[in-house]
Chain A
Amino acid sequence: AQSVTQLDSQVPVFEEAPVELRCNYSSSVSVYLFWYVQYPNQGLQLLLKYLSGSTLVKGINGFEAEFNKSQTSFHLRKPSVHISDTAEYFCAVSDFLCGGTASKLTFGTGTRLQVTL
């Protein structure tokens, strides 16, 4: 069974500073990894995903993440954050995704990114 660990429940950061949100996973087979963002009182929005290929994945809003198989990590980074990046960020993993068939998506507990001036 797969699992996801987001060690940081909250990350406070000043505007224009860099940020890294940590995500570690466990799975017995190959994995597919996702980062979602949830703005206050809104639904989930996909930031980026790793399915295969290059381990450095670029997403929307200037975010990127690097898949590290040896460390079983998929940390999310942004070189310079903005006030509007304040939101809840969820890392998620599935272990099977083939055409229309997929295993369930397992979510981490989330990290609250709080950007201040």
Chain B
Amino acid sequence: SAVISQKPSRDICQRGTSLTIQCQVDSQVTMMFWYRQQPGQSLTLIATANQGSEATYESGFVIDKFPISRPNLTFSTLTVSNMSPEDSSIYLCSASGPGGYTFGSGTRLTVV
């Protein structure tokens, strides 16, 4: 299965700023996904990132707040824009493959 390198692993950011999270996959994958895991909670899908088209956002998430890029089949970025303390979470990317799903190690974001 694919291996995903996600960075940064953690960051502490001031409110009002933006952070871009990157995920690099070691093989070409069609579908990539971005999740948020708020403290003590499960994973919630933010959006599906497809190469060559705009990301598909889940209810409650909008492109202006979480812009996503997918320039090729091995790379994707998620930006958390105009951050507030409520955005403090772990953000994970995922890729699908023939046998299932692979996850990045996550980005632990703290907004102060």
Binding site for B on A (CB under 8 A): 32, 34, 42-44, 46, 49, 51, 90, 94, 97, 99-102, 104-110
Contact = CB atoms under 8 A, between A and B. Distances in A.
B96 A101 contact: yes
Nearest to B98: A99
B48 interface: yes
Contacts of A34: 100-101
Nearest to B103: A44
Contacts of B100: 32, 34, 46, 49, 51, 97
B80 interface: no
Interface of A is mostly: strand
A102 B106 contact: no
A18 to B, nearest CB: 25
Contacts of A43: 92, 103-106
Contacts of B33: 104-105
A102 B31 contact: yes
Nearest to B10: A41
7 contacts: A90-B42, A97-B100, A102-B96, A104-B58, A105-B45, A107-B44, A109-B41
Interface string B35-74: 0000001111100100000000010000000000000000
A109 B104 CA distance: 20
A101 B31 contact: yes
Contacts of B103: 43-44
A100 B30 contact: yes
B29 interface: yes
Contact of A110 (B28, B42, B92): B42
Nearest to B9: A43
